Structure 1
Amino acid sequence: MRLTSKPVLCNYYVTYRCNAKCSFCDIWEKPSPYITLEDVKQNLTDLRRLGVQVIDFTGGEPLLHRQIDEMLGMAHDMGFVTTLTTNGLLYPKMAERLKGKVDMLHFSLDSSDKTEHDTGRGVACFDFVMESIKVAKQLGEHPDILFTVFKKNLHQLEEVYEDIVLPNKLLLIINPAFDYNDIDAGEQLTEEELKYLSDFGRRKRVYLNDGFVQLRRDGGNHVDDPVCKAASTTLVISPENELVLPCYHLGAKSFPVNGNLYDLYKSQEVEELKGQEGRLPECEGCTINCYMQPSFAVEMNKYFWKALPSTLKYNYLKGTWKRLMPF
């Protein structure tokens, strides 16, 4: 049963440029412009009309955009829940400008070992994450640690949790890695390892959407009965100010927004592409978290019930439920 027909999330790519070269990402390889403040203002107005609740300003590295603080502030003031993930390289010098504008601030950290983390990210950023934690806490912010899990770093979860998360009173977000395009996340986690993740997610100050675990047990999205509702739950806006459908990772078609996102999203051509969400050949076996999470939230099925406890836990601990209430 579908709970809402409205989109709930916007993945707003401020640029594809990045100051890191993560081995599990190809975004940084793309040439890219930067979004403009004028376009953001108009698009946020249309996103509000469409019913979107959460704006994820993403990239690339979103802090490369010199006006990212203004965009976050604009979205926050309009009542959106704002989220941003950064590798930490630029956060310490931008922290004052970002204060109070990011509801869900995530610092990417995949190991408690500096060399291991920096190697995976392709740049020396471990020390910057540590500094970012310190600076954010001094400013009264409440950042999360976003840990992208592979088979090769699963053993690091315990140390990151014990040595970094708990002492700093942070939240640990467990983000299972996923394949897409030519990106290979490596060997799949075994049933025993998935159970370990699921059990770990029940610890205090830890968030793991258990729907992600169930989806991997089920072999991902299946085109004959798709769980993915990417195009109808999530708007993807590119740095070129285009609406990308059915999702960023497939990017089957892009439409110039031209200051009219609301009507574009409701157009016949876009509606037809929404109807293909989760049903394209490339969608078979997909486990991309950033589209599955909103998909789980709008369809009352087994993934909805798997995801619900962790979602309630996270929003309670972060207090973001208070900002969702006006919608």
Structure 2
Amino acid sequence: MRLVRHPVLCNYYVTYRCNASCGFCDIWERPSPYVTLENARENLRDLKRLGVRVIDFTGGEPLLHRQLPELLAEAKRQKFITTLTTNGLLYPKQADSLRGLVDMLHFSLDSPNAAEHDAGRGVRCFDKVMESIAVAKRLGERPDILFTVFEHNIGQIEAMYEQICRLNGLVLILNPVFGYNSVDTGAIAEGVSPENPLSESALQALTYWGKQPGVYLNDGFVQLRRDGGNHINRPVCRAGSTTVVISPQNELVLPCYHLGLKNLPIDGQLHNLYQSDEVQKLVALEGRLPACEGCVINCYMQPSFAVELSKYWWKALPSTLKYNYMKGTWKQLF
């Protein structure tokens, strides 16, 4: 049963450029401009009309955008909940200008070991994440650690939890890796696929850690992986109808960024464009295209679970309530 029939999230790619080169991501390989403040103001206005509540300013590395504080301020002015994930390289220098503008600030960190984290990112950034944590705390911000979990680092959750997150009073977000295109998801355990690369023992470890205080894991992600991901004959994914994806070229990307079958110029008409027959026909294919088979991409499944009553809705509910209680963001939903 569908509970919400309008988009709730915008993945706003402010640029595809990045100052890291993570193996499990190919966004940084794409040439890219930067979104303009004028276009963003128009689009945020129309996103509000469409019913969107959360704007994820993403990339690439969003802090490469020199007008990011202005973009965030405009989103806050229009009363959106804002989220931002960064590798930390630029945060210490820009933290003052971002203060108070990000409701959910995530620092990416994939190992408590500096050499391992830096090797996975293709650039030395572990020390910058540590510096970013100190700077954010000094400014009264409440960042989270976003830990992308692979088969090879599942055993490092405890050290990440104890040595970095609990020590600094931070929430640990466990982000199970997912595959798409030909990105590197690490060593593949027997019986799993590149798109869904975590073994049953890894999923069991995730479930255990997700129940610990100060840790967030969407249990729907684990269940979906056990079920073999999205199936096109009975799709779980509602990416097109829940998530508006905007490119740095000011295009509406459909049915999702990772599939990206069609990019439509927005030209100041996002509201009308999204409701057009052409777009709604593409939205109707969400989760049903051949490439959607087996998909477990977290950034689309999270809103998908939230808008439709299903076993995934029930699986996701306790962890969603837990995170919103820890962060206090539930207050902004009313």
Give TM-score scaled by structure 1 length. 0.99
State the secondary structure of the residue aligned to 2:41.
Answer: helix
2:146 paired with 1:146 = yes
Report 1:1-327 matches (<5 A).
Answer: 1-186=1-186, 187=188, 188-325=197-334
Query: Which whole-Å deviations, capped at 9, do the CAs of 1:6-56 have from their partners, x for residues lacking one?
Result: 100000000000000001000000000000000000000000000000000
Contact preservation (8 Å) 1:229, 1:292: yes
Name the CA distance, whole Å, in 1 between partners of 2:12 and 2:198.
Answer: 30
Matched residues, percent identical? 69
Structure 2: runs of 5 or more not aligned = 189-196
Name the CA distance, whole Å, in 2 between partners of 1:105 and 1:159.
Answer: 21
How far apart are residue 264 of structure 1 and its match? 0.2
State the secondary structure of the residue aligned to 1:107.
Answer: strand
Contact preservation (8 Å) 1:100, 1:141: yes
Name the CA distance, whole Å, in 2 between partners of 1:57 and 1:277.
Answer: 23
State the secondary structure of the residue aligned to 1:151.
Answer: coil
Name the CA distance, whole Å, in 2 between partners of 1:217 and 1:185.
Answer: 17
Name the CA distance, whole Å, in 2 between partners of 1:284 and 1:55.
Answer: 27
Contact preservation (8 Å) 1:87, 1:125: yes
Letter aligned with residue 56 of structure 1: D
Name the CA distance, whole Å, in 1 between partners of 2:295 and 2:184.
Answer: 12
Structure 1: runs of 5 or more not aligned = none
Name the CA distance, whole Å, in 2 between partners of 1:101 and 1:249.
Answer: 27
Name the CA distance, whole Å, in 2 between partners of 1:228 and 1:42.
Answer: 28
Letter aligned with residue 258 of structure 1: D
Contact preservation (8 Å) 2:23, 2:184: no
Q: CA RMSD in A?
A: 0.6
Name the CA distance, whole Å, in 2 between partners of 1:203 and 1:220.
Answer: 25
Q: Which residue of 1 aligns with 2:191?
A: none
State the secondary structure of the residue aligned to 1:244.
Answer: strand
Give TM-score scaled by structure 2 length. 0.97
Contact preservation (8 Å) 1:165, 1:172: yes
Contact preservation (8 Å) 1:110, 1:117: yes
How far apart are residue 184 of structure 1 and its match? 3.5
State the secondary structure of the residue aligned to 2:211.
Answer: coil
State the secondary structure of the residue aligned to 2:153.
Answer: helix
State the secondary structure of the residue aligned to 2:17.
Answer: coil
How far apart are residue 85 of structure 1 and its match? 0.1
Contact preservation (8 Å) 1:178, 1:184: no
Query: Which whole-Å deviations, capped at 9, do the CAs of 1:240-270 have from their partners, x for residues lacking one?
Result: 0000000000000010000000000000000
Contact preservation (8 Å) 1:223, 1:279: yes
The structure 1 segments of at least 4 consecutive aligned residues displaced by more than 4 Å after TM superposition are: none
Name the CA distance, whole Å, in 2 between partners of 1:281 and 1:159.
Answer: 40
State the secondary structure of the residue aligned to 1:180.
Answer: coil
